[in-house]
Structure 1
Amino acid sequence: MRIRTAGVVAVFALALAASGCGGDSDEPATKESPQAASGKLVIWADDKRTAALKPFAEKFGQENGVTVEVQAVSKDLQTNFVTAAQQGSGPDVVVGAHDWIGNLVQNGSIDPVQLAADQKSAFNETAVKAVTFNGQLYGVPYAMENLALIRNTALAPEAPKTIEDLVAAGKKLKADKKASEILCLQAGQNGDAYHIYPLYTSAGGYLFGTTANGDYDPKDLGVGKPESVEAFKKIGALGEKGEGALKRSITPENSIATFTGKKCAFLVSGPWAVADVKKAGIAYDISPVPGFAGGKEAQPFVGVQAFYVASKGKNKALAQEFVTNYVTKPDLAVALYQAEPRPPALTAALDQVKGTDPDLAKFTEAGRNGQVLPAIPAMAAIWDPFGKAEAAVIGGADPAKTITAAGTTIAGQIK
């Protein structure tokens, strides 16, 4: 699994958060109902978020004298949105992951969002950075997510400081027949760039450099560079012909279940895993993913869920009003959190819920120095070649040859 789309609920939360964050203007966003409010507002989200959004959508409709429809799109929400937008049959607002932005902007599918400075400052700074593309704000964030280390405290009372400490503890548990796997970090036969990324960064690897203004630079590809070769050597040493901590048999389908079945003491996953861990009755704790001894800090990707205004929507003024002055309210962000617990991007909403959910602060801390998942279109070229290179190296392939070849493939796909 890469980034799980939080769906409509997330979108609403993002929207609420956005109205709380400030934009480039110091003037507050207008509170008046737009003239376009005489029409209908259509919102697309995934199945999970739709139910949470509907009560707020109805309230917004009543307050503005309009009809609001929240429509669930079960599969391929991003692709369906782009296609529908080009055909003139798309929604006015769509909720989805921030790493869609590059593709959506490239296809002319979304408009910038105007938030006042006080609204912008009400959001987590990293969340605002994630929805900013080419210097413009394109979405209102509602939730955040990143990987952390979830451990079974009955088997591993202390959080490992390094990946070497984790491997040593896992090996001892295997020797004592208290576990059958050292680490549950999903790879599978095709690899998983998202889940291996914290270890890749700790070993010195990078995907893209940055420009002078801090944006990711597709012309500076790190895959295939000497840093990535050294990183893959360290990843390979943890693989099936080395320490045995990374295995292709740990897949997106079974990684969480292997942990909840008490077959491993350590799981690298995100907030989406917690419900299953609780259901299994496992005593657990959450800490940052540990890096290599003497290496850099492990940096997970930070993903954000947000609300977007469709550039070809039939009621754009109403959509802007909804996203900037309604989605930015804490009550919507809290409702979206309750529908699917991920740290709210709106600071006031996070403050409201973190007292009853200690996991939120722990995930937030684990992602404190994380890297915003690149939203540039070039990122689409990374996933498959990088993941397959990871799987091959975990299986014993030569790290230098494998990641250099992946870099050549990726560079050829980036236009």
Structure 2
Amino acid sequence: MRIRTAGVVALFALALAASGCGSDSDEPAAKESPKAAGGKLVIWADDKRTAALKPFAEKFGQENGVTVEVQAVSKDLQTNFVTASQQGSGPDVVVGAHDWIGNLVQNGAIDPVQLAAEQKSAFNETAIKAVTFNGQLYGVPYAQENLALIRNTELAPQAPRTIEDLVAAGKRLKSAKKATETLCLQVGQNGDAYHIYPLYSSAGGYLFGTGANGDYDPKDLGVGKPASIEAFKKIGALGEKGEGVLKRSIADTNSIATFTSKKCAYLVSGPWAVADVKKANIKYDISAIPGFAGGKEAQPFVGVQAFYVATKGKNKALAQEFVVNYTTTPELAVALYNAEPRPPALTAALDQVKGSDPDLAKFQEAGRNGQVLPAIPAMAAIWDPFGKAEAAVIGGADPTSTITAAGKTISGQIK
């Protein structure tokens, strides 16, 4: 899942204009809340976020009587955050994907976030579900995202009903020398569980079952079971030794560029791809990812981006105040959207912007029956073995032995 950074800048730009970060009230901040009497707020971000945040953070600190430090973590932000937290040298606030939550909670790295019932009800229900773990809210969501099928309407005027329809249309375009690839769905040399999941789910595969309360059950692992083997047989049939639709040469580094250069008519990607598509002046439309004929509906993962309060931050009260009272307003959410258009998690903000951006409704429709990306700690064991098995099968490896071995590897890693 690609995580863009520009939106955070808008959050701070608006936060600069807000007054007070040190209110003792349990209610959402009023228009004029008392200024904090000193203190320091430390935020962790990657290089791009850090560079953009520094000037805004400095002004925020000046206006609110606090010092704000934005520290760059170039790689492995989640891993480094956990390590620093255990050593007592981590930040007060961290921004990241919701599927970090299980791992962060297991490592004692983040605190629950206390939102009033009215605040919580203002968010999309799926977004709140995504940041809820073991019955507690652990983050404030600001955007959600899912994959969809983006197609070049000059090459493919109609949305395909099934993956078989897509393959047939792609073959016709290749025969007419109007395209060189049938589908741009990133695989790469190590696979990509996130992008292949809609096809895997359509073919009957699953990662984790769910318990009576709807939560994912790490003891019910679907990888390696007969349904997953059958799913990968279908995926393998689309691979390099089959239809040639799925290729390891299409990766995260070139899938969007291959589409924007008009070498393929279909791209499986998320809202982050739209800016590049528009820049290339591609006439496009967005629809649901088609599933296999006779199979289940393809289900993309639904992911959420959120703000978290560090358990061992040195200024937890200030961090809670900032996260709870400044990241929950429509004004902030709209600013985040304007910085990078992806569906806001706050319903009022979505209502404000969707009229001027038809893509939002189309992505939402494409993710209507999507699955919330598992945030349980066991999910960390999925990515690498599953992805490598996917790449191997697409390259021609035997699905049965490959997926069975991946299931054993994953099962052995789940504690």
Q: Same fold (TM over 0.5)?
A: yes
**Matched-pair contact (CA < 8 Å) for 1:286–1:363:** yes
**Matched-pair contact (CA < 8 Å) for 2:35–2:65:** no
> For residues 141-195 of structure 1, what are the alpha-carbon distances to aligned partners after superposition, in whole Å with 9 as ceiling and x for unaligned?
0011111101000000011111111011001101111111111111122111111
**Matched-pair contact (CA < 8 Å) for 2:6–2:339:** no
- Pairs within 5 Å for 1:167-178: 167-178=167-178
Deviation at 1:10, TM superposition (A): 8.4
* 1:270 aligned residue: 270
More displaced 10-residue stretch of structure 1: 56-65 or 389-398: 56-65
Deviation at 1:63, TM superposition (A): 6.4
SS in 2 for 1:304: strand
SS in 2 for 1:219: strand
1:394 and 1:72 mapped to 2: Cα distance?
A: 37
2:27 and 2:346 mapped to 1: Cα distance?
A: 17
1:6 and 1:145 mapped to 2: Cα distance?
A: 14
**Matched-pair contact (CA < 8 Å) for 2:9–2:56:** no
- Pairs within 5 Å for 1:332-343: 332-343=332-343
Cα 1:80/1:8, change in 2 over 3 Å: farther
Unaligned runs of 5+ in 1: 17-26
* 2:109 aligned residue: 109
* 2:22 aligned residue: none
Cα 1:369/1:48, change in 2 over 3 Å: farther
Cα 1:81/1:97, change in 2 over 3 Å: same
Matched, 1:293 2:281: no
Deviation at 1:4, TM superposition (A): 2.4
Deviation at 1:53, TM superposition (A): 5.6
- Pairs within 5 Å for 1:376-387: 376-387=376-387
1:251 and 1:9 mapped to 2: Cα distance?
A: 27
- Pairs within 5 Å for 1:261-410: 261-410=261-410
> For residues 49-96 of structure 1, what are the alpha-carbon distances to aligned partners after superposition, in whole Å with 9 as ceiling and x for unaligned?
457766875676566533333334333221222222222222111111
SS in 2 for 1:94: strand
* 2:21 aligned residue: none
SS in 1 for 2:355: coil
Cα 1:295/1:160, change in 2 over 3 Å: same
Cα 1:101/1:214, change in 2 over 3 Å: same
Aligned-partner residue type, residue 91 of structure 1:
P
More displaced 10-residue stretch of structure 1: 155-164 or 365-374: 365-374
Cα 1:376/1:183, change in 2 over 3 Å: same
Deviation at 1:120, TM superposition (A): 0.5
Aligned-partner residue type, residue 4 of structure 1:
I
Deviation at 1:245, TM superposition (A): 1.1
* 2:40 aligned residue: 40
SS in 1 for 2:274: helix
SS in 2 for 1:247: coil
Instruction: Compute the RMSD of aligned alpha carbons.
Output: 2.4
SS in 2 for 1:354: helix
SS in 2 for 1:355: helix
Matched, 1:80 2:73: no
2:299 and 2:10 mapped to 1: Cα distance?
A: 25
Deviation at 1:385, TM superposition (A): 1.1
* 1:215 aligned residue: 215
Cα 1:81/1:94, change in 2 over 3 Å: same
* 1:149 aligned residue: 149
1:122 and 1:10 mapped to 2: Cα distance?
A: 23
Deviation at 1:113, TM superposition (A): 0.2
1:317 and 1:248 mapped to 2: Cα distance?
A: 48
SS in 2 for 1:71: strand
> For residues 319-370 of structure 1, what are the alpha-carbon distances to aligned partners after superposition, in whole Å with 9 as ceiling and x for unaligned?
1111111111122222222222221111111122222222112111111211
Q: Percent identity?
A: 85
2:48 and 2:350 mapped to 1: Cα distance?
A: 20
Cα 1:10/1:146, change in 2 over 3 Å: farther
Cα 1:52/1:305, change in 2 over 3 Å: farther
Cα 1:340/1:360, change in 2 over 3 Å: same
- Pairs within 5 Å for 1:58-97: 61=61, 64-97=64-97
More displaced 10-residue stretch of structure 1: 149-158 or 77-86: 77-86
SS in 2 for 1:306: strand
2:79 and 2:413 mapped to 1: Cα distance?
A: 20
More displaced 10-residue stretch of structure 1: 39-48 or 195-204: 39-48
Higher relative contact order (CA 8 A, sep 6+): 1
* 1:22 aligned residue: none
> For residues 86-108 of structure 1, what are the alpha-carbon distances to aligned partners after superposition, in whole Å with 9 as ceiling and x for unaligned?
22222111111111111111111
SS in 2 for 1:180: coil
**Matched-pair contact (CA < 8 Å) for 1:52–1:339:** no
Aligned-partner residue type, residue 369 of structure 1:
N
* 2:120 aligned residue: 120
Aligned-partner residue type, residue 394 of structure 1:
I
Aligned-partner residue type, residue 188 of structure 2:
G
More displaced 10-residue stretch of structure 1: 259-268 or 43-52: 43-52
Relative to the length of structure 2, the TM-score reads: 0.91
Matched, 1:180 2:187: no
Aligned-partner residue type, residue 73 of structure 2:
V
2:294 and 2:72 mapped to 1: Cα distance?
A: 48
